[in-house]
């Protein structure tokens, strides 16, 4: 039984790693290492908190509440839970993240080898493969964990190990003067957006655990933790290795520094002439595994939301077709319209995760959690208004709102809502407790 559970946890853990590890996760770490230099290890520490620990807490938060994200939302308000879940699944699904996987594959993976390849043909091929591999939800985790992830890990580990053994340029490692390395890694970790994905992936992972016979809460929790540990170890090794490769890349830091060019420079420097092909394959596999997981999550969610009126296969097909159309617009176009939308949803979701993991078992009343979420939403909306006013040339208003955000604690870490939300949670908890005592 122990051998079986360990093997199951390994496969599910590999699948979870691949779900989280999209193309953005490959592109971000090297630039962090380049900018951190000798303080690359502090940057890894900061990045690990927001890009590894926070997403894992998302899965734990769902596990504490039930089997799916909507169970987590019900701890606050059933309607709010469904609204937030729908907003998340749309943002990390057919509107943003899924089209971005195909667009990234084309711009970094395909064009590097075939410069004149059609973006339309690339998008059609990408989503045809995605559709075939995600049409059966029960097999998704096994397909990703047993076949696609080992190949992706083999390529990534090879590049990291070879880069550590024979670094391109170690001169930057002697410069240990960047006090902001931890902050840089911490802030950049948000850009993976894996916290949003985690609460949706949780349902897939927990369902996979249950399908393997672990139905009791104790067994389900144990295997999920084991699988999470596998994913965390893989992510930490790969992220740390890629940050180190960036720090030892010897790449010149100019005004027009491009992350994709840095990554290509590293892969060619470490793997030689085959570096471009290896990188293209890594990008393709990373994007494909993420796309499969997101398409599967979208199909499952809307099938459940409509109580089967929209079948899983129909939603998956529609998602792949619509995503293929949006992907042709390119990565920059997708990011431009997605950034403000995600800037509101992300803090609210992370607030829900943090307070549910920290207080979910001890605080049974809903009011404190609602207070924290409303406070976070207000701060996020102020940030959004600052961005919007600057875009439409309301400079004075933008400066005032921006100065207010900077005045809040932890704003330099991109979490200006954290302290206000904790104050709101505490105040509402105390007031709610006093009022509840008076009515009983």
Q: What is the mean pLDDT of the segment spanning 120-133?
A: 92
Q: Is a pLDDT exceeding 70 seen at residue 329?
A: yes
pLDDT band at 122 (very low <50, low <70, confident <90, very high): very high
Q: What is the mean pLDDT of the segment spanning 361-379?
A: 89
pLDDT band at 376 (very low <50, low <70, confident <90, very high): very high
pTM equals: 0.84
What pLDDT score was predicted for residue 137? 64
Q: What is the mean pLDDT of the segment spanning 312-326?
A: 92
Q: What is the mean pLDDT of the segment spanning 99-123?
A: 88
Instruction: Please classify residue 174 by burial: count the beta carbons closer than 10 Å to its beta carbon, then call 0-12 exposed, 13-18 middle and 19+ buried.
Output: exposed
What pLDDT score was predicted for residue 339? 66
Q: Is a pLDDT exceeding 70 seen at residue 381?
A: yes
Q: Is a pLDDT exceeding 60 seen at residue 155?
A: yes
What pLDDT score was predicted for residue 436? 67
Q: Is a pLDDT exceeding 80 seen at residue 75?
A: no
**Those residues with Cβ within 8 angstroms of residue 226's Cβ, 6 or more apart along the chain or in another chain:** 5, 6, 9, 13
CATH of domain 1-331: 1.10.4160.10
Lowest model confidence (mean pLDDT) among 145-149, 187-191, 372-376: 145-149
A 10 A CB-CB count for 426 gives 13
pLDDT band at 379 (very low <50, low <70, confident <90, very high): very high
Q: What is the mean pLDDT of the segment spanning 133-155?
A: 76
User: For the chain, what percent of residues have pLDDT higher than 90?
Assistant: 21
pLDDT band at 108 (very low <50, low <70, confident <90, very high): confident
Q: What is the mean pLDDT of the segment spanning 255-284?
A: 80
What pLDDT score was predicted for residue 1? 54
323 or 275, which is more confident? 323
| Average model confidence (pLDDT) across the chain | 84
Q: Is a pLDDT exceeding 80 seen at residue 417?
A: yes
> What whole-number distance in Å separates Cα of residue 109 and Cα of residue 278?
9
Q: Is a pLDDT exceeding 80 seen at residue 70?
A: no
What pLDDT score was predicted for residue 337? 65
**Those residues with Cβ within 8 angstroms of residue 408's Cβ, 6 or more apart along the chain or in another chain:** 379, 416, 417, 419, 420
> What whole-number distance in Å separates Cα of residue 118 and Cα of residue 280?
16
What pLDDT score was predicted for residue 373? 92
Per residue in 203-249, pLDDT (tens digit) is: 888 888 888 888 787 888 888 889 989 999 999 999 999 999 998 98
Give domain limits for the chain: 1-331, 363-439
Lowest model confidence (mean pLDDT) among 63-67, 177-181, 416-420, 423-427: 177-181
């Amino acid at each position: 039984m122990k051998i079986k559970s360990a093997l199951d946890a390994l496969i599910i853990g590999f699948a979870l790693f691949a779900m989280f590890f999209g193309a953005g996760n490959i592109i971000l770490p090297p630039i962090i290492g380049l900018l951190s230099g000798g303080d690359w290890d502090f940057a890894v520490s900061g990045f690990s908190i927001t890009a590894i620990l926070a997403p894992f807490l998302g899965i734990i938060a769902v596990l504490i509440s039930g089997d799916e994200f909507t169970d987590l939302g019900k701890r606050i308000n059933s309607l709010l839970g469904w609204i937030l879940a729908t907003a998340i699944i749309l943002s990390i699904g057919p509107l943003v993240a899924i089209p971005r996987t195909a667009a990234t594959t084309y711009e970094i993976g395909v064009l590097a080898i075939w410069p004149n390849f059609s973006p339309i043909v690339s998008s059609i091929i990408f989503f045809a493969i995605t559709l075939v591999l995600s049409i059966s939800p029960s097999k998704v985790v096994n397909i990703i964990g047993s076949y696609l992830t080992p190949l992706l890990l083999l390529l990534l580990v090879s590049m990291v190990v070879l880069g550590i053994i024979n670094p391109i340029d170690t001169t930057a490692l002697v410069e240990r003067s960047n006090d902001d390395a931890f902050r840089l890694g911490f802030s950049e970790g948000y850009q993976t957006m894996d916290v949003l994905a985690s609460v949706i992936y949780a349902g897939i992972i927990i369902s996979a655990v249950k399908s393997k016979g672990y139905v009791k809460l104790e067994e389900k929790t144990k295997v999920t933790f084991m699988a999470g540990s596998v994913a965390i170890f893989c992510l930490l090794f790969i992220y740390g290795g890629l940050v180190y490769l960036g720090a030892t890349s010897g790449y010149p830091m100019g005004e027009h520094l491009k992350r994709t060019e840095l990554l290509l420079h590293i892969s060619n420097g470490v793997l030689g002439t085959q570096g471009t092909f290896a990188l293209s394959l890594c990008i393709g596999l990373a994007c494909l595994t993420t796309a499969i997981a997101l398409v599967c999550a979208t199909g499952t969610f809307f099938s459940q939301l409509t109580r089967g009126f929209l079948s899983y296969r129909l939603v998956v097909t529609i998602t792949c077709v619509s995503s293929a159309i949006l992907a042709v617009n390119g990565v920059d176009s997708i990011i431009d319209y997605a950034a403000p939308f995600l800037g509101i949803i992300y803090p609210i979701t992370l607030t829900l995760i943090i307070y549910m993991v920290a207080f979910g078992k001890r605080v049974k009343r809903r009011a404190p959690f609602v207070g924290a979420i409303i406070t976070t939403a207000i701060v996020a909306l102020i940030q959004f208004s600052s961005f919007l006013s600057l875009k439409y040339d309301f400079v004075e208003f933008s400066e005032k709102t921006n100065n207010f955000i900077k005045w809040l604690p932890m704003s330099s870490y991109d979490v200006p809502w954290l302290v206000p939300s904790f104050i709101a949670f505490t105040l509402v908890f105390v007031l709610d407790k006093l009022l509840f005592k008076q009515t009983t």
